[in-house]
Structure 1
Amino acid sequence: MTPGPACFALVQRFEGCAKKQIDGNFTAYPDPGTGGDPWTIGWGTTGADIKPGVIWTQQQCDDRLAADITSFAARVSALLDGAQTSQHQFDALVSFAYNVGVGNLSSSTLLRLHKAGDFADAQQQFGRWNKAAGKVLPGLTTRRAAEAALYGS
């Protein structure tokens, strides 16, 4: 499957393209949950190339978002292994994986329930993933509710 517009909209809504400078460029910033790693830039982009002092243009942020979502979608598709999945379910799962990581999705009860076709219980699992560094974050609570709503639509 490929990510649809709802996936991109959801990721952009919750990641935001943060830390815009007066010159219009964006600078890397520490993870809000940990105050350190992983360093982030643009639309929630992390990776070995993102560290203090990195500066990107808007185009670099947008291009990396498209590449990253495509990459996450391919990995989520592989995890689904042919399980029945609607476009909205897929988009919600890709947004979730973009935020918490594919490894966390792969070992989650959410994925296990989805693959078993238990979509109602899978939808309820999104809300359990609202913590960073052991603390409930209101932004994550809101994001998980939006992902669950998309998943169930």
Structure 2
Amino acid sequence: MGVGAMSLGAFTGPVQKSRAPASEFSMAITPQDEVRKPAALLKASEEFKQALIEEEGVRYTVYRDVAGYPTVGVGHLIRPADNLRVGDRISDEQVIDFLESDLITAERGVRILVGNLPLHQHEFDALLDLVYNVGLGNVSERESPRLNAAIANADYEAIAAELDYTHAAGRVARGLEFRSERRAQIFMDATYEDPREIASTIS
């Protein structure tokens, strides 16, 4: 995590290590934790916020992302109302304001996407990362029919298999491949650790 991300400690709370691997985590959860809840009752967890900042980074100068869109802060896509252009700088306060607003929008998007499907917190977080990353329009029934079919059938394994979004501007982006891997492990195992760190530890 970069220096910029550390300045967001007031938003995410103290930086924590990711959860234990699934085998250890499953021993620690309580029966109450195992009950899936309506998405309307769930919000982004602190662990997810930290993982999101690690993935997106924190940029104070407006830049073009891998797809060419003007972006700033924690992956915030510039809108006309922001009155910002490439090269403009923003403050810590603006970064946090954009992040809070974007998370609320993404949380609302997940609730629209899953409808009445109950979720564990980590499953909600994984879908939240997906919507935050690609936008609600790209996970619509038209654009992502298999994901929507899996949700309609309450097939959680099939949902996990449809969290792989790796293309930007028509090309595979290595960073999105790692992010998709991380997203899937969050959904399936409640493991928030960066797979790149795991790979470097093994090698």
Contact 1:6 1:88 (8 Å CA) reproduced: no
Which residue of 1 is the match for residue 49 of structure 2? Answer: 8
* Matched residues, number: 142
User: Is residue 175 of structure 2 the alignment partner of residue 144 of structure 1?
Assistant: no
Q: Which residue identity does 2:151 align to in structure 1?
A: H
Residue correspondence of structure 1 range 88-127 to structure 2 within 5 A: 88-107=122-141, 108=144, 109-127=146-164
What's the RMSD between the two structures over aligned residues?
Answer: 1.5
How high is the TM-score relative to the length of structure 2?
0.65
Q: Given the alignment of the two structures, is residue 135 of structure 1 paired with residue 166 of structure 2, yes or no? A: no
| Contact 2:109–2:131 (CA under 8 A) maintained in structure 1 | no
Structure 2, unpaired ranges of 5+: 1-41, 190-203
C-alpha distance in 2 between matches for 1:112 and 1:5:
29
Map 1:12-91 onto structure 2 (within 5 A).
Answer: 12-18=53-59, 26-32=60-66, 34=67, 36=68, 38-48=69-79, 49=82, 50-91=84-125
Q: Could you tell me how far apart the structure 2 residues matched to 1:130 and 1:67 are?
A: 25
* Structure of greater Rg: 2
Q: Give the share of equivalent positions with the same residue, in percent.
A: 29
Note the C-alpha offset of 1:77: 0.9
AA at the equivalent of 2:166: N
Does the CA-based 8 Å contact 1:10-1:95 persist in structure 2? no
- So what's the TM-score if we normalise by structure 1? 0.85
Quick one: structure 1 residues 145 and 78, their matched pair in 2 at CA, closer, same or farther if it must change by over 3 Å? Answer: same
Consecutive unaligned residues in structure 1, runs of 5 or more: 19-25
Shift of 1:134: 1.7
Q: CA deviation at 1:14?
A: 0.8
Query: Take 1:58 and 1:11, find their aligned partners in 2: how far apart are those partners?
Result: 16
